[in-house]
Every structure is written in structure tokens, then in C-alpha cells.
Amino acid sequence: MTSWIVLFISVLLVMMALAAVFSRSLASAIIILSTLSLFAALLFVLVAAPDVAITEAAIGSALTTVVFVLALYRTKDAPMADDRAPKNASEESSEALRRIPEAPHA
């Protein structure tokens, strides 16, 4: 009976890992990874590794999730590299040419 539960949780872990990789939202990927870590801790309990399960729950689920959420929160309003790039390169070059003074005609 336990082997079926271990197999089920193992398949569930693989599915959650794929869901996190292909998630379109960083927030949902963080939630999926946190849930994956909790199920991994449950798997470690089932295979008689309670010390590893406690470590996985504390570090993998709790601490890593907090770090990811803080990183997402702090970078949410940061300017992206594309924001600093000119919208249209030809507009920028024509603007630069207009600023060059013309030589006086003799």
C-alpha cells in the first residue's frame, strides 16, 4: 500500500515540476514550487527519513518561498532593460541629426 502512495506522490512531484517550469506567471510558479516542496517532505516521511523531511519543509518550502516572494516583490517595479531602449531607432537618429548645428555657408 505504501509503495503505491510513494509512486503516486513521485508522479505528482514530476507533474508539479513541469507545471512550475511551464507556468506563465512567476507568482504561480512560486506557489507550485512551494507545494512541490511540501509533497517532497511528505514523501521523505513515507520513506522513513523524517530528518530530511523536516529540513525540506523548513528550507525548501518555507525559506525558499519567502526568498522568492521577496525577490518577486522587489523586482516588480524595477525598470527592465527594454524600458531604457529607444522605442524606434530611426526616431532617435533623426533627433540626433536635428541637434547637430549646420555649418555656415561661405
pLDDT in tens, 13-53: 999 999 999 999 999 999 999 999 999 999 999 999 999 99
Instruction: Give Cα separations from 32 to 27, 74, 90 (angstroms).
Output: 9, 20, 44
pTM of the model: 0.67
Q: Where are the domains of the chain?
A: 2-78
For residue 61, pLDDT beyond 70: yes
**Residues present in the chain in total:** 106
